[in-house]
Amino acid sequence: MNILIRNATILTMDSEELVKGNIGIEKDRIAFIGNKPETFEADYEIEAEEHLAMPGLVNAHTHSAMSLLRNYADDIPFWEWLTEKVWPIEEKMNDKDVYWGTMISIAEMFRSGTTAYADMYFHSEETAKASCEAGIRCSVAKGLIGSSEEDEKLFADTRGIHRDWNGAGDGIITVMAGPHAPYTCDPGFLHKVMDLCAELRMPLHIHLSESEKEVEESIKKFGKSPIAHVHALGLFQHHTLAAHCVHLVPGDISLLKEGGVHVAHNPLSNLKLGNGTAPVTEMHQAGINLSIGTDSSCSNNNLNLFEEMKMASLLAKGRTADSTVLSAFETLKMATINGYKALNLDESLGKLKAGSKADLILIDMNQPHWYPHQNLKSSLVYSSQGSDVSTVIVNGKIVMEKRELKTIDLQRVKYESDKIVDRIY
């Protein structure tokens, strides 16, 4: 279907400049930005006066089905939260629970402008299925926990997900390997994961240096930080998306840069779990590709990237006592261009220009907190709300228009989620 978006204020992310004009979409690609060519015939038109158009946002790290654990186990220490609350309740969850938990998260992500996300969880085929049905880009990873003596079933599951889902939904589903963390995967197991990545030419998604205790125990056990440990094993030879990277020791940033690691910064989750603040400015200055994630609804407790962008920028300024670091535009890059790079997706994503994939959002600027219209990039990061997003297009398909979800039966999703929670709790 050919879509014409008329009279939008456009932030292409190809530069900091904003332009006023039209956007033409032909099938899954942007046909033009600016004046409509006479040869372009629209099947559907969207009036975007008083709206800002920009690339869709990327949630570079989450566990989407954990929406079912939202507001559960709050205000307790991180390791107690993980081992005594989260893991036990997850043992009660089945594949259908993951499907419906993922669906409620996708609805929330659409409502706040997210068009792509990286997920790590179990029953990942259900995450892929829900994402494909809803029409959101998803880099799905089955969470892998094990030792070198582990049987091959875990790896067979990942092979199966890769075979059945990689490239599904006209390319919106991609698959990563998902070793949970160095403290849950021993060196022999991580070598098996790397062999799998080499076999399938597959990126990987891992938690690294999230908590102080994790780093201390790694140094005690291996004589190295988690980052130095996996670097020595050769993990960074593969495209690596590393979540958190909060507690870094001297030399870690150089190893991340050397390994071409893509870091997913999760500011609100890190704060809520008492895990501190990541050295984002130092990583940014080193040239590391920084993206933004929410982590799960159990540790955040929502998936709103507008909140994450504001917090990321303010934390960087507060941590360094320098109000000039991580500007609004640099933060927007983290949530768009850098996020797509982190997910190892099509290089045309993250910018609005002719020929690029048509993943974009329209944001209603006719709200009190947008006035006066002085610096719209600043408004996006420091003033706007996820609820300002009115329309979402992924791969050239309208998945939400005027806040109405087009691919998700929200009432059914809420009903099923309530039933699951009644059972597992």
Strands 289-292 and 262-265: parallel
Q: Would you state the pLDDT for residue 152?
A: 76
Spatial distance between the Cα atoms of 51 and 403, rounded to a whole number of angstroms: 13
Answer whether CATH 3.30.300.30 is correct for domain 57-342.
no
How many Cβ atoms are within 10 Å of 278's Cβ, its own excluded?
26
Q: How far apart are CA 404 and CA 391, in angstroms?
A: 8
In DSSP terms, 265 is beta-bridged to: 292
List, for residues 300-329, the tens digit of each pLDDT value: 999 999 999 999 999 999 999 999 999 999
- At 89 the pLDDT is 95
> What are the tokens at 222?
């291996």
Q: pLDDT digit string (tens) for 236-284?
A: 999 999 999 999 999 999 999 999 999 999 999 999 999 999 999 999 9
Dist. CA 274–CA 272, nearest whole Å: 5
Average pLDDT over residues 285-303: 97
Cβ within 8 Å of residue 255, ≥6 positions away = 227, 228, 231, 236
| pLDDT exceeds 90 at position 147 | no
208 DSSP β-pair partners: 244
Between the CA of residue 48 and those of 22, 25, 52, 351, what are the distances in Å?
Answer: 9, 14, 8, 18
Residue 297: pLDDT over 90: yes
Q: What is the pLDDT of residue 422?
A: 95
The answer to whether 183 touches 218, Cβ cutoff 8 Å, is: yes
Average pLDDT on 81-106 reads 96
- 178/181 Cα distance (integer angstroms): 9
For residue 153, is pLDDT > 90? no
pLDDT at 151 over 80: no
Q: Would the pLDDT of 149 be above 80?
A: no
Query: Does residue 309 contact residue 266 with C-beta atoms inside 8 Å?
Result: no
Specify which residues 21 forms β-bridges with: 8
2-55+350-405 has CATH 2.30.40.10 classification? yes
Q: What does the chain come to in residues?
A: 425
Predicted pLDDT of residue 347: 85
Cα separation values, 189 from 58, 145, 181, 231, Å: 30, 8, 11, 15
| Contact indicator for 392, 56 with CB cutoff of 8 Å | yes
Q: Residue 169's pLDDT band (boundaries 50, 70, 90)?
A: very high
* Residue-level pLDDT at 375: 96
The domain spans of the chain are 2-55+350-405, 57-342
Average pLDDT in the chain: 97
- CA–CA distance, 280 with 314 (Å, rounded to integer): 11
In the chain the first and final C-alpha atoms are separated, in Å, by 45
> pTM of the full predicted structure?
0.97
Is the pLDDT assigned to residue 148 strictly greater than 80?
no
Tally of CB atoms within 10 A around 1: 11
